[in-house]
Amino acid sequence: MSNEFSVLMSLYIKERPQNLRECLDSMLSQTVLPNEIVIVKDGPLTDELEAVLSEYIEKNPDLYTLVPLETNRGLGLALAEGMHHCKYELVARMDTDDIARNDRFEKQLAEFDKDPDLDICGSHIVEFEDSVDVIVAQRKVPLTDKEIKDYQKRRDGLNHVTVMFKKSTVLRAGNYQSCLLMEDTLLWANMFNAGAKAMNIDDSLVYVRIGKDMFERRGGWSYYKKYKQGRKQVRETGYIGFWDYHSTLMVQFAVAMMPNKLRGWVFKKLLHK
């Protein structure tokens, strides 16, 4: 199939300008460059973020498509809108604070060339603080379609920020939807229910930035309630059953109620290795 592809991002007011710069630089350093970068402005942005966008667009005016939203809609609805503005069948997801390895797109395009039936291609990630030289953890995911779909019943079998997928398959499955903490989880369930084929490359193609407060934000009763609400939406797709639903809630409750330091250790040593 054609090697033309879009990159889809959602940008909101709390992003740091330097993180956005590093992300965009990683897009421009690829061995195979994207044909367009679609950036959804999820509500008003700071002057500093607008200045970064203007600087990059001035250098490559034909590369960027900006999709401004008047108010902040949240990641799921912002990406849903952005999908409609992507010109190409292949779309690569990227978060505005992460960094892609320079051969990421080359490797993913090669997999779509090898398998015309492939709908989603992701990879492992490495997680870092402040600099890619400060690696905190790695999140490995299953590789084959069957392994991913089995794994997906309990935990995400795809790292969202690494995926390249077919726009037509995403739209056929209902596109992104609003789902607290689980916009991607809900999308994978709907896509797999629709027969999508997935794979992961056995390599870490994206460096994911984690804040020092990440583990704190994933704790407490409020976080657990949001997780439960999102998980309920996923269950309503029929992709996961009674035991998958309740067992993951039990695990998440235990992790959310742990002291922050212990929760950080669990994420780094057990959940993300």
**Residue 115 has which token pair?**
């398998």
CA 217 – CA 69 distance, rounded (Å): 26
Confidence check: pLDDT of 260 > 70: no
**Residue 43 has which token pair?**
């509500």
Task: Please tell me the predicted confidence (pLDDT) of residue 215.
Answer: 58
List pLDDT tens digits, range 176-194.
999 988 999 999 999 999 9
* CB-based contacts of 70-74 (< 8 A; 24+ apart in sequence): 70/43, 71/43, 72/12, 72/13, 72/42, 72/43, 73/42, 73/43, 73/178, 74/42, 74/178, 74/183
Whole-number CA gyration radius for the chain: 18
Confidence of residue 270 (pLDDT cuts 50, 70, 90): low
CATH superfamily of 5-211: Spore Coat Polysaccharide Biosynthesis Protein SpsA; Chain A (3.90.550.10)
> Across all residues in the chain, what is the average pLDDT?
92
CA 60 – CA 51 distance, rounded (Å): 14
CA 197 – CA 199 distance, rounded (Å): 7
Confidence check: pLDDT of 268 > 80: no
**Residue 24 has which token pair?**
């965009």
> In the chain, where are the structural domains located?
5-211, 215-271
CA 269 – CA 240 distance, rounded (Å): 26
Handedness of CA 63, 111, 92, 98 (dihedral sign): negative
Confidence check: pLDDT of 146 > 70: yes
- C-alpha angle with apex 143: 164 to 240, nearest 5 degrees? 85
- Choice among 93-107, 177-191, 238-252 with the minimum mean pLDDT: 238-252
Task: Please tell me the predicted confidence (pLDDT) of residue 214.
Answer: 62
Averaged pLDDT, 22-49: 98
